[in-house]
């Protein structure tokens, strides 16, 4: 995140990134090496050296970083595996379809969110409007008593 926040300020030393992001330097070195090998960041040598992004933060989707560091972006198997299970495991088809839908939704959000979005504090909306605090308070007060076996608790 620090590289995105300071994108136009030149290279930043690992020690500075580790301090600001509260990460161990050795751990950060491994991540930066992976990002460098994937050509997302570049290293600059010399007294003013360090690491910097190779592209604008707005051009780097979160999904790209996550795939590089963690592998598949979704919480379930990859899409092709799920589609194969849907086709061949009829008793569990509906369950695998739900997993595929969740995977697709997660991938869409991560692909639509860039580093620039994160540093700006904005993310793509899920399409559902947020409920106001006033409405939430009203809903809390209007909980109906539970009826079990025809009797109120």
Q: All domains of the chain, ordered by start, with CATH? A: 1-54 (1.10.10.10), 57-126 (no CATH)
Distance CA 107, CA 113 (A): 10
pLDDT tens digit string along 51-109? 999 999 999 999 899 888 887 766 666 788 889 989 999 899 999 899 899 888 888 99
| Neighbour tally for 81: CB within 10 Å | 15
**What integer pLDDT is reported at residue 149 of this predicted model?**
45
Beta 41-44 vs 50-53: how paired, if at all? antiparallel
State whether the Cα torsion 79-80-85-87 is positive or negative: positive
Q: Which of 98, 57, 52 is nearest to 75 (CA)?
A: 98
pTM (2 d.p.): 0.67
Beta 147-148 vs 151-152: how paired, if at all? antiparallel
The region of weakest confidence among 18-22, 121-125, 139-143 is 139-143
**What integer pLDDT is reported at residue 2 of this predicted model?**
87
């Amino acid at each position: 995140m620090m590289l995105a926040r300071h994108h136009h300020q030149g290279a930043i030393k690992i020690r500075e990134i580790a301090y600001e992001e509260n990460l161990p330097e050795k751990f950060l070195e491994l991540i930066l090496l992976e990002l460098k090998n994937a050509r997302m960041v570049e290293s600059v040598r010399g007294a003013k050296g360090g690491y910097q992004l190779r592209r604008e933060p707005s051009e780097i989707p979160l999904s790209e970083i996550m795939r590089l560091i963690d592998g598949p972006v979704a919480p379930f198997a990859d899409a092709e595996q799920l589609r194969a299970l849907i086709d061949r495991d009829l008793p569990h088809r509906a369950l695998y379809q739900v997993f595929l839908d969740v995977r697709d939704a997660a991938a869409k959000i991560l692909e639509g969110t860039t580093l620039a979005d994160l540093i700006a504090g904005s993310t793509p909306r899920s399409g559902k409007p947020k409920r106001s605090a006033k409405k939430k308070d009203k809903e809390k007060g209007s909980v109906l008593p539970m009826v079990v076996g025809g009797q109120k608790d």
